[in-house]
Structure 1
Amino acid sequence: MLESLHVKNLALIDEQEITFTEGMNILTGETGAGKSILIGSVNLALGAKAGKDYIRTGADYALVELIFSLNDQQCSQIREMDLPIEEDKTLILQRKITPGRSICRANGESISAGQLKNLAGCLLDMYGQHEHQSLLKPAAYKKMLDDYIGEKVVKLKTALKDRLAQYRKYVEELENQNSDETVRTREAKLLAFEIEEIENAALNPEEDEQVEKRYRRLVNAKRMKETVYMVHGLTGYENEGSAGLTVGHALREIKTLRDFDEDIAPLIGQLTDIDDLLNDFNRSMAQYEDSLEFDEEEFVELEDRLNTLNHLKDKYGDTIASVLKAGEEKQEELDKLNNYEAYMSGLREKINERKQEILTLCGQISKLRKKASGPLTKKLKEAMVDLNFLDVEFSISVEEQEEDFSADGYDKVDFLISTNPGEELRPLWQIASGGELSRIMLAFKTVFADKDETDTLVFDEIDTGISGKTAWKVSEKLGRLARNHQIICITHLAQIAAMADTHFMIEKNIVKDRTVTSIREISADESLGELARLLGSGKLTQAVLNNAREMQETARKVKEE
């Protein structure tokens, strides 16, 4: 259920918050007051395209926030999307729109446009004033029928989609075969060479990591040995200019001064210590140098092997496992070319097998559709009669077209209708008027709502093209829906507004020289006055008020039935 809507800096709305209730939430207001902005804000929060033009002039951003209390089915669906849900089953959906981008969050966690689209589908069902146009698209009829059937057809269509993908893969493979024997021979020679190249390398799946690790160790060992050798020479007593020879020479020279000045003795002692330390260091370096192992022959072998592995990975894959897999695939291709006729025969057999499986699944789906078409026809006809189609005839046609199969099966589904006595049934998309389509769509909504786990249904001016008794029928139908669903309905008709459990007024005012749209819940007395206005009275006379009061009483009785 949609608990509340918070809108800030959106078009004519400065900042508004509206708290919805269970049952029938009715929103009314003068033409141009901003009702479309309200529905638009809900659409924006649920992923509709947003642009900087939505941001109120002078503001840096626009913000829309929806708070839902979820049922168990919705919680399960949202958890499958890996989205967060509060312990109290609350979902806060927020969208912030800036000139450069928009940010969507669910319970504070950023979500993608794709996640938001999936999320919107399980939170509420929105019926806009032009949605009935979908009834003019025959492609929609099959989906409606399948939605009515439910899980059984979903499972069959999932299996059908899998078989169809395999079928198309084999067909494409068959179409891509080259009939030129010379070309096939050339391809076979190349494949044989590549297979031999991979096989001769005698690869091990984990070999590249092992070789690289050993190679890096030997490379470092070689560098360390070279450095240690150089340091040993620089600090030793053998090479000209080495530290050992230089210090030894300096020590011999300074000792000649002992006979001339006794005070030089400490300096001689210090230099002697340096000579001793350098001598000890040089011996230690010699021992460390002897401890370093470097096998030149092994290093060359590893370097050659590494070059071979890298060459194969550059040519056939990023890893040894990929190279080996490429070798297996090339062997399969070579086997196909060496046994070309058998391969082609097997491929055609697979195509025929998959086609038969597809036709079987399509047949099972068709059987379900034909079985469901009867009960659905009855329910839809009853719903249309409730909406003042007194002489309506309705039928669902399911026609098999075996050679025209797809992921939806091979049926052509059509909705046939006659709204006038004596007229033959004809496709719905050919004959229904705009006002009729609106009521027919509402009939569909009421039938499918009984199967729907979505708590909230939003209707945006579904009263287009209806009035009088028909308007009452629509009102009654919405009232019945509101028993088990939260209904949010924008309307211009008093008959529908009279059914309100909670009534909101949408108004447009001038505040500080700027136009501002506001939304507020109105009292019972104000609701009575608004009904009188919707009845077309420019002046609230007692007679008009009595009419509005009688309308409210009639609506109350309908809801109590």
Structure 2
Amino acid sequence: MLAELSIKNFAIIEALSLSFEKGLTVLTGETGAGKSIIIDAIQLLSGGRGSSEYVRFGENKAEIEGLFFVDGQHKAIKKLEELGIESSEGMIVLQRNISHTGKSVCRINNKLVTLGILREIGGTLIDIHGQHEHQDLMQSENHVTLLDEYGKTLIYPALQEYRKLYNKFNQLNKQRKHLSENEQKIAHRLDLIQYQLKEITEANLMNNEDEQLSEEKAKLSNFEKLFESIGSAYEALSQDNKGLDWVGHAMAFLDGVSELDGELQNIHEAITNSFYVLEDATSQLRDKLDHLEYNPSRLDEIEERLNEINMLKRKYGDSIESILEYAAGIEEEIETLSNREKHISELEKELKDTAAALQLEGKNLRAIRKKVADSLVEHIHAELKSLYMDKTTFAVQFTPLETNQANVNFSKNGIDQIEFFISTNPGEPLKPLTKTASGGELSRIMLALKTIFSNQQGITSIIFDEVDTGVSGRVAQAMAEKIQQLSITSQVFCITHLPQVAAIADSHLYISKEITNDNRTVTHVTKLSENEKVKEVARMISGVEMTKLTKQHAKELIKLASKNKSSS
């Protein structure tokens, strides 16, 4: 559940700190008071799109922080463990700061994360349903996603296999298209890459050659310094009364007395070992001096070769390895383009085989989806019945995709167009949901879907932003009871204008705004007592004018809601 929410300098909210409880929390208030702004802040915590417009005028940044409590088996905890983010006692803190320039900084449990990770974790904790989701339901292309979400344990494995083949088919199609381009374009491409391969091949590159040449160049460029330093080091060790002689003397002095003292024996061994090590090093220095040779022409050769390598790097890659990889790639392409007809024939055969396999996978996916669709229809009918849509018939229609210009009759989602159909009156034929459902019907259908999905998703907090739009009377009461039932297993927040929903809430927050002395608008949130709740519900019933009768009606509504809750 979402236990604490802190908001600073966000839109018309200056500073707000809220504590939430389990069950159903409603947010009410006049239009424009800032109810949806609070939901916008929570949405940003779940990885929603940010904007500099959210930052309160005159401030540098907006700050939002939410504390969630989950059990140890919640998938958010498992995801955090995979990311190496610690969480103690099921506590998850999401933070989002948005600067006046629009830049976002995201943290989880005080660790910096990307917006993508915040969205991934937030998506397991918060599910926000607003009026705009009616628009999603009104777009038929989204219906397949809803069906797949409902039956994901059965559908997703089959969909994954289908998409593997679909991606392969697209790749093969792309290759065939490339090879089937006009002769002139192919000839130009072939001439270009043949020239490039010849240029790289004639350079006779070797891995790490540039590094070895640069090292040799450094030696030749600093020959005088090297020669003097090595010579001086050799003389310091080898000449009479120099390094080796004095170390030899020390070794000889201790040779006769080391057996008399155990500590001296260790020192004698160390000096002896050092002598032989220095003697070997002196020999190596002498060999180095004997082989040192200054060759100005070699330095010119190195410069020329490095220039050639650098020119190839600018054209074909940032290293010799990448240049050689590029050469291998165009060599393969040359072979393919030179034998174009043969490769086109092979590709067409492979395309045909892949299309046949894809069709089989598509039919398998269709069969699984139809089985899931039957279950979804049955489930939705049960939910709609409790929302006074018992005469409504809901169906999921599968229409095979038509063959397009490329002679293809499948998409990334399968071989069918999937669309929800509905008939709200007996005797009326089924028609597309997107063309026939009213606003109130869409609200109830979406609530039915949310009720079904919430039991499967394990979402910690569900937020409804005016989902009760377009309903009243007994339908409003039924929706209130349905939302309250959801709050038994998940924490639910609901922005509402319906007194039935407000009456059944476990916690009631009233949102208001005022103009301050410095002519700024500030939002306030007040947790209502029982008496204050009665007044607010009465206001929602009557509008502006409140009478004793509306107060009595409000009390009866709250009493009835309490009775319904205790019996559920």
1:511 and 1:353, CA in 2 relative to 1: closer, same or farther beyond 3 A? same
TM-score of the pair, normalised by structure 1: 0.80
SS in structure 1 of the partner of residue 542 of structure 2: coil
Deviation at 1:191, TM superposition (A): 5.1
Superposed CA deviations along residues 390-418 of structure 1, whole A, max 9, x for unmatched, are 21111111222264312111211111111
Deviation at 1:378, TM superposition (A): 0.5
* Cα distance in 2 between the residues matched to 1:188 and 1:18: 68
- Aligned partner of 2:546 among 524, 539, 542: 539
Alignment partner, residue 254 of structure 1: none
Alignment partner, residue 293 of structure 2: 294
Alignment partner, residue 456 of structure 1: 461
Percent identity reads 32
Q: Which aligned pairs between 1:276-295 and structure 2 lie closer than 5 A?
A: 293-295=292-294
Alignment partner, residue 555 of structure 2: 549
1:83 and 1:439, CA in 2 relative to 1: closer, same or farther beyond 3 A? farther
Superposed CA deviations along residues 133-183 of structure 1, whole A, max 9, x for unmatched, are 222110111110011111443333334334333322322222223677687
TM-score of the pair, normalised by structure 2: 0.79
Q: Which amino acid aligns with 1:405?
A: F
Alignment partner, residue 205 of structure 1: 207
Alignment partner, residue 146 of structure 1: 148
- Aligned partner of 2:447 among 442, 448, 467: 442
Superposed CA deviations along residues 507-532 of structure 1, whole A, max 9, x for unmatched, are 23454465432112222232233222
Alignment pair present for 1:2 and 2:2: yes
Alignment partner, residue 136 of structure 2: 134
Alignment pair present for 1:469 and 2:478: no
Which 10-residue stretch deviates more, 453-462 or 47-56? 47-56
Alignment partner, residue 234 of structure 2: none
* Cα distance in 2 between the residues matched to 1:330 and 1:288: 47
* Cα distance in 2 between the residues matched to 1:177 and 1:289: 59
Which 10-residue stretch deviates more, 409-418 or 106-115? 106-115
Q: Which aligned pairs between 1:89-100 and structure 2 lie closer than 5 A?
A: 89-100=90-101
1:304 and 1:484, CA in 2 relative to 1: closer, same or farther beyond 3 A? same
Alignment pair present for 1:399 and 2:399: yes
Q: Which amino acid aligns with 1:219?
A: S
- Aligned partner of 2:76 among 71, 74, 77: 74
* Cα distance in 1 between the residues matched to 2:458 and 2:362: 28
Alignment partner, residue 409 of structure 1: 414
Alignment partner, residue 366 of structure 1: 366
SS in structure 2 of the partner of residue 554 of structure 1: helix
1:28 and 1:191, CA in 2 relative to 1: closer, same or farther beyond 3 A? closer
* Cα distance in 2 between the residues matched to 1:70 and 1:92: 11
Which 10-residue stretch deviates more, 312-321 or 442-451? 312-321
SS in structure 2 of the partner of residue 552 of structure 1: helix
* Cα distance in 2 between the residues matched to 1:535 and 1:182: 77
* Cα distance in 2 between the residues matched to 1:11 and 1:202: 65
SS in structure 2 of the partner of residue 483 of structure 1: helix
SS in structure 1 of the partner of residue 123 of structure 2: helix
Alignment partner, residue 158 of structure 1: 160
CA contact (8 A) 2:223 2:294 kept: no
Alignment partner, residue 511 of structure 2: 506
Q: Which aligned pairs between 1:115-264 and structure 2 lie closer than 5 A?
A: 115-177=117-179, 194-195=196-197, 197-221=199-223, 224-225=226-227
Deviation at 1:482, TM superposition (A): 0.7
SS in structure 2 of the partner of residue 398 of structure 1: strand
Alignment partner, residue 232 of structure 1: none
CA contact (8 A) 1:359 1:402 kept: no
CA contact (8 A) 2:200 2:312 kept: yes
CA contact (8 A) 1:124 1:458 kept: yes
CA contact (8 A) 2:130 2:466 kept: yes
Alignment length (residue pairs): 502
Q: Which amino acid aligns with 2:546?
A: K
1:116 and 1:456, CA in 2 relative to 1: closer, same or farther beyond 3 A? same
CA contact (8 A) 2:381 2:390 kept: no
CA contact (8 A) 1:225 1:289 kept: no
Superposed CA deviations along residues 38-87 of structure 1, whole A, max 9, x for unmatched, are 2233234444455555444554443322222244212223455x373432
CA contact (8 A) 1:461 1:491 kept: yes
Q: Which amino acid aligns with 1:506?
A: I
Deviation at 1:202, TM superposition (A): 4.6
Cα RMSD, aligned residues only? 3.1
CA contact (8 A) 1:77 1:122 kept: no
Q: Which amino acid aligns with 1:221?
A: F
Alignment partner, residue 489 of structure 1: 494
Q: Which amino acid aligns with 2:372?
A: A
Superposed CA deviations along residues 299-344 of structure 1, whole A, max 9, x for unmatched, are 5665555455445444433222223223322332232244333222
1:315 and 1:544, CA in 2 relative to 1: closer, same or farther beyond 3 A? closer
Question: Where do 5+ consecutive residues of structure 2 fail to align?
Answer: 232-285, 404-408
1:517 and 1:367, CA in 2 relative to 1: closer, same or farther beyond 3 A? same
SS in structure 2 of the partner of residue 144 of structure 1: helix
Alignment partner, residue 37 of structure 1: 37
Q: Which amino acid aligns with 1:539?
A: M
Alignment partner, residue 316 of structure 2: 316
Deviation at 1:9, TM superposition (A): 2.7
Question: Where do 5+ consecutive residues of structure 1 fail to align?
Answer: 230-286
CA contact (8 A) 1:529 1:540 kept: no
1:306 and 1:154, CA in 2 relative to 1: closer, same or farther beyond 3 A? same
Which 10-residue stretch deviates more, 415-424 or 169-178? 169-178
* Cα distance in 1 between the residues matched to 2:175 and 2:462: 48
Superposed CA deviations along residues 455-501 of structure 1, whole A, max 9, x for unmatched, are 11101112211111001110111111111111001111121112211
Which 10-residue stretch deviates more, 161-170 or 484-493? 161-170
Which 10-residue stretch deviates more, 449-458 or 94-103? 94-103
Alignment pair present for 1:64 and 2:64: yes
1:190 and 1:442, CA in 2 relative to 1: closer, same or farther beyond 3 A? closer
1:534 and 1:163, CA in 2 relative to 1: closer, same or farther beyond 3 A? same
* Cα distance in 2 between the residues matched to 1:310 and 1:492: 71
